[in-house]
Chains A and B, each alone.
Chain A
């Protein structure tokens, strides 16, 4: 019988160590493989990675841009993580994000005209962001509800909802919601009102309060998952739905909550992009956030704080890619390759453990038990 107190310390410490090791090594290995690919493709890996690093952290502006990229990644990554914790696989972050953006853009530009008055920021901004969260919530709740009620598997449903959201957005931005300005020729909404905009933190830099919000939300989610009864229920349903049922947890309800929460976070990602950065929604933005989010959630071991780090890494890559291409003219697709490799190594951590002779075993997260018909 170990002395309880120190055992608590060890219990808290040990998983962090073993959890951090694999993702870190996965990233490094992926970078190395990426380097080889670049080399074979006739590029200079060192130049490329230097460019990547310079572009991501080389200057105050670069760092600010990295945070700009990381912000939606944090929200989307958290969205996928929360679903994972609840034993659900949310491939629908893409669609939830897009609708969130559309909704908050609409509230952002249309509300003043509807009400015929200019709302003060302290009302308008929360409304705009809230609208995005609501849209995301709905888009996440649908598959959650279907799963709880009919057992229809969320993976296929979220994929379908992605396409529906895509069509919906295109329709709205090409028609009803398109910027009426005669000079505008783009499928995009009008600019949102001043009151609905999130100010940049430092003048001249695009780093906006949305990033700070993202960090706070990450903390909040961590707290909810680990310190509250709701989190306990979500995790229990995720770990063993049967036991949860026996213990009196309302599984159906919890599933819906997890997916809704997941949707809210994804919607938030879209809402913040609109209110904090673009001040409008434009067709074609957010291509590929959904799958990046999955990679980020897994890289972060579905731990909110891990997700933040993973998101910063992915943000840095996407942001630095521009500089890399400018310096070396290596196609930015290499970033996707590296990210896929990271995901590969994180998922099949056995490979990493074998490569680096890591002994410790940790139970792998089982997220899916087939389609469940």
Chain B
């Protein structure tokens, strides 16, 4: 695997954390800062990681997916909707409601994936347009339903935002969770844990199983796959739908794990950042995960630099500007794309509809 790239990515994370330690070290012990940076980094990285994994499933099978954003948003909404339906209408206890919510979110993602597959595999619609359709559709539908269902007339809850079942609990890993600084890493909520599991599983599936071999073959040279009797269409459908489901899980993170509420547009462009993370990590699950961590660290940096505003030396005053720090992930991505740090090589047949 591309060690040079990983080294570079790790370096960035260390630098980002280092900056904060340098700035805030005087007032807050370094250990505490690192711990809090790690915590923020991981929680921000969770949806990005899953989003990127979603992208990897689609693109390794040769289907470009810029609809991750929309898939997340729709899943976030319907998952949350299902959860509160169970909880406050059908009076189920919180835990089952949440779990049902997660399942619905995943299914929603799967449906969006199916739509994408129908458009780009069956109808051979330009895949980027297909993704754009999904993004716009998701914004419209969620915005419209959110209003119709939860606001005054037509609202099933009589205008009141119903009592939400809360969020998924943290599942600390026994001994590890009590470690000093790094302990936070082992005190995560289910979806955050699943994200890391997903990275490992995806890596295994892609590179060590029949499914993965065939998926990659379809993404690299569909005709060759066809001639050895692999059903290109089916493989692409399957992977795009799986990709959608993973994006759905990412969506669930927003409304069922992070906060118990839905807001229009709450995914806030994270789907696109996931896409960047995927490319950043050169279409490899581990790489994408690390890229997501970089973006997480950048976000953490931004929050912490505001927190330590007073401590920032005047020479570095520009760091106080949330705007300036906010640019880091985007600029990084563009640099990566130029291929300065190792060329990014997408699957050969990525984005090309398969004509028999």
Do A and B belong to a common assembly?
yes
What is the interface of chain A, defined by CB distance below 8 A to chain B? 37, 41-42, 89, 91, 146, 149-153, 155-157, 159-161, 163-164, 167-168, 170-171, 291, 294-295, 298, 329, 331, 333-341, 343-344, 347-348, 350-351, 364-373
- Pairwise interchain contact A372-B346, C-beta atoms closer than 8 A: yes
When each residue 318-356 of chain B gets 1 if its CB lies under 8 Å from chain A and 0 otherwise, what string results? Answer: 000101101100110110011100011111011110000
Could you write out 18 A-B pairs with CB less than 8 Å apart?
A41-B144, A91-B132, A146-B334, A150-B337, A153-B337, A164-B330, A164-B331, A167-B326, A171-B324, A294-B132, A295-B132, A336-B139, A339-B136, A340-B140, A344-B119, A347-B129, A348-B118, A371-B59
Measured CB to CB, the nearest residue on chain B to A163 is B330
Give the nearest-CB partner of A152 in chain B: B337
Chain A residues touching B, majority SS: helix
Task: Name the distance in Å between A291's Cβ and chain B's nearest Cβ.
Answer: 5
Q: Within the assembled complex, what's the spacing in Å between the Cα atoms of A33 and B328?
A: 42
B330 touches A336 (CB 8 A): no
8 A Cβ contacts from B251-306 to A: 264, 269, 272, 275-276, 279
Which A residues lie within 8 Å of B321 (CB)? 171
Q: When A339-B136, A373-B345 are in contact, do A347 and B125 touch as well, CB less than 8 Å?
A: yes
Nearest CB of chain B from residue A96's CB, rounded to whole Å: 15
When A152-B334, A343-B133, A344-B137 are in contact, do A370 and B326 touch as well, CB less than 8 Å? no
Provide the B106-149 mask, 1 if CB < 8 A to any CB of A, else 0.
Answer: 00000000000011000111111110110111011101100110
Q: Are B154 and A156 in contact (CB under 8 A)?
A: no
Interface centre among B129, B264, B343 (most CB of A within 10 A): B129
> Does B64 touch A at the CB level, under 8 Å?
yes
CA–CA, A333 to B330, complex, Å? Answer: 29
Q: Any chain A CB within 8 A of the CB of B66?
A: yes
Contact B351 A371 (CB under 8 A): yes
B153 interface residue (CB < 8 Å to A): yes
- What would 7 more interface pairs be, CB under 8 Å, given A42-B148, A340-B136, A370-B346? A163-B269, A168-B323, A294-B129, A336-B144, A337-B141, A347-B119, A364-B124
Given A156-B337, A160-B276, A294-B132, is A331 in contact with B323 using a C-beta cutoff of 8 Å?
Answer: no
Q: How far is the CA of A269 from the CA of B338 in the complex (A)?
A: 29
A329 to B155 CA separation, bound complex (whole angstroms): 13
Contact B279 A368 (CB under 8 A): no
Q: Do A157 and B337 form a contact, CB below 8 Å, given A167-B327, A333-B147, A371-B346?
A: yes
- Chain B residues 54 to 82 lying within 8 A of chain A, measured CB to CB, are 59, 64, 66
- Is B133's CB under 8 angstroms from A370's CB? no
B127→A337 contact, CB < 8 A: no
Task: Provide the bound-state CA to CA distance between A367 and B279, in Å.
Answer: 20
Are B144 and A348 in contact, CB atoms less than 8 angstroms apart?
no
**Which of B129, B323, B351 is in CB contact (< 8 Å) with A369?**
B351
A150-B144 contact given A337-B137, A340-B137, CB 8 Å threshold: no
In the complex, which residues of chain A have a beta carbon less than 8 angstroms from the beta carbon of B153?
Answer: 42, 329
A342 to B145, CA, bound (A): 19
Which residues of chain B are within 8 angstroms of A89 by Cβ–Cβ distance?
128
